[in-house]
Amino acid sequence: MKSEAVKSEIATSSTKHAPEGAEASMCFGCGSDNPWGLKLDFRDEGVKYVAEFTPRAEYQGYPGILHGGIVCTLLDESMARMLWSRGMKLPTGKLEVRFRRPARLDGHFRVEAFVSSQEGRIISCSSVLKDLTRDEVVAEGRATFLVPPQMALKAKDDNQSAG
């Protein structure tokens, strides 16, 4: 499949596969039962997958600044969850984060994820973390996800039988 076609197919796939129940309840990023977790509640906005987040004091790094590890988690979780919601339960293979400015602890944030491309079994995604309080981008993420051979073969077989 060509990269643009895959981006479109992934972006518009059903969201019936979002993690829920006991399988994901303790997830640090999205789990509703994890007392220390971020409890991100994602929604599908077509091509983008988004969540909003207001940090708690426990997530501080330097005084008044959201810890960089939490910033990375927000970016990574948004990309992985977007793929999961489209039926692809894949671990992150590589994550790159560019910190643009400090994420202030008193901010209210929006994280957005989208598919950038797919080449063979490698899906590339991007994400952005915006401080809505200050109307500024604080960090950007890029990640690659590797589709296992058995999943790639099943998708190929499904496409051939549909055509």
User: What is the pTM assigned to this prediction?
Assistant: 0.80
Question: Over the Cα atoms of the chain, what is R_g?
Answer: 16
Q: Return d(Cα 16, Cα 96) in angstroms, integer.
A: 28
- The span from the first CA to the last CA of the chain, in angstroms, equals 13
Q: Return d(Cα 59, Cα 14) in angstroms, integer.
A: 33
Q: If DSSP codes are grouped into helix, strand and coil, which group holds residue 14?
A: coil
- Other CB atoms within 10 A of residue 45 CB: 10
pLDDT of residue 3: 45
Instruction: Read off the pLDDT of each residue in 40-60 and give the average, rounded to a whole number.
Output: 92
Of 115, 155, 109, nearest to 4 (Cα)?
115
Please, are residues 91 and 83 in contact by the beta-carbon 8 Å criterion? no
pLDDT of residue 14: 42
109-158 residue pLDDT tens: 999 999 999 999 999 999 999 999 999 999 999 999 999 887 765 555 55
Name the residue ranges covered by the structural domains of the chain: 3-162
**Reported CATH class of domain 3-162:** alpha beta
| Adjacent-strand bridge partners of 98 | 140
63-79 residue pLDDT tens: 999 999 999 999 999 99
